């Protein structure tokens, strides 16, 4: 048995092949897991538990089925931060806080989506503060579904334009932010997504060996982090599997 970690699937109607790959993952590898952690951005957009887009139906049903035998934990990402209690009821998943420390086979490990670590991207952090404000969220959820969709499309276009003009390094994690988060939770291992730069980084933290594991996105293929008592490894899943 193993504990699996995935993130940044960005499920949407524009990429039905990835949605199908996710269903195969839930019906296959995930069924054998001890637990499944989804560290943010499962969906490209989530505009409230009261307006589930039709294309998400199969994934929600399969998550519910899997949750009957495998514990599933999910974090908010920067795309699906409006997941709430009704989503938990629909899927059987348990929503996690932004920063969670777990015991991963004897290794204290910090789990994050990862966007709060990108502190050099000042414009994004300002936008994040706005959309995570409870008052802003309440106002958004009071709008009609059509109004919410229109606003989401507007922000997506703004995000694409701004991203194209940013230096790549700005959108990666800040080393000091990483160290501070790990010190805060007294861990030597961190697992996160968001940056779409999969890798296992070994480095020194407070004079001891530390590890930062970055999960891959699901734009070209599927990817999971497989953690067993002997260690962790990144594995890809191709569309043809």
What are the pLDDT digits (tens) for 35-50? 999 999 999 999 999 9
Could you tell me what percent of the chain has a pLDDT over 90? 89
Q: Which residues contact 59 (CB under 8 A, 6 or more apart)?
A: 11, 19, 22, 23, 26, 42
In whole angstroms, give the CA distance from residue 120 to residue 62.
38
Q: Are 77 and 192 in contact (CB under 8 A)?
A: no
> Cβ neighbours of residue 240 under 8 Å, at least 6 residues apart?
none
What is the full DSSP assignment across 141-159?
HTS-HHHHHHHHHHHHHHH
* Strand boundaries in the chain, DSSP class E: 3-6, 35-38, 72-74, 94-95, 99-104, 107-112, 189-192, 199-205, 208-214, 222-228, 231-237
pLDDT in tens, 71-98: 999 999 999 999 999 999 999 999 999 9
Query: Global pTM?
Result: 0.96
Q: Which two tokens stand for residue 227?
A: 């953690």
* Residue 227 pLDDT greater than 70, yes or no: yes
- How wide is the angle at C-alpha 41 spanned by C-alphas 38 and 45, nearest 5°? 140
Residue 132 has pLDDT above 60, yes or no: yes
Ordered structural domains, the chain, with CATH: 3-115+173-237 (3.60.21.10)
């Amino acid at each position: 048995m193993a504990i699996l970690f995935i993130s940044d699937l960005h499920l949407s109607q524009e990429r039905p092949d990835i949605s199908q790959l996710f269903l195969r993952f839930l019906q296959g590898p995930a069924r054998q897991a001890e637990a499944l952690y989804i560290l943010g951005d499962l969906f490209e957009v989530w505009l409230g538990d009261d307006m589930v887009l039709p294309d998400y139906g199969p994934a929600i049903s399969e998550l519910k089925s899997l949750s009957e035998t495998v514990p599933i934990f999910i974090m908010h990402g920067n795309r699906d931060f409006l997941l709430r209690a009704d989503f938990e009821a629909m899927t059987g998943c348990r929503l996690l806080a932004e920063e969670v420390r777990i015991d991963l086979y004897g290794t204290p490990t910090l789990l994050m989506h990862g966007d709060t670590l990108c502190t050099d991207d000042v414009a994004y952090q300002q936008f994040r503060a706005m959309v995570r404000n409870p008052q802003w969220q309440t106002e958004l959820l009071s709008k009609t579904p059509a109004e919410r969709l229109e606003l989401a499309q507007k922000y997506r276009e703004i995000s694409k334009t701004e991203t194209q003009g940013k230096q790549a390094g700005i959108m990666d994690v800040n080393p000091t932010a990483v160290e501070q988060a790990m010190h805060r939770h007294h861990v030597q291992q961190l697992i996160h997504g968001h940056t779409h730069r999969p890798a296992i980084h070994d480095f020194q933290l407070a004079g001891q060996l530390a590890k930062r594991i970055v999960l891959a996105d699901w734009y070209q293929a599927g990817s999971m982090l497989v953690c067993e008592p002997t260690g962790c490894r990144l594995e890809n899943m191709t569309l043809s599997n």
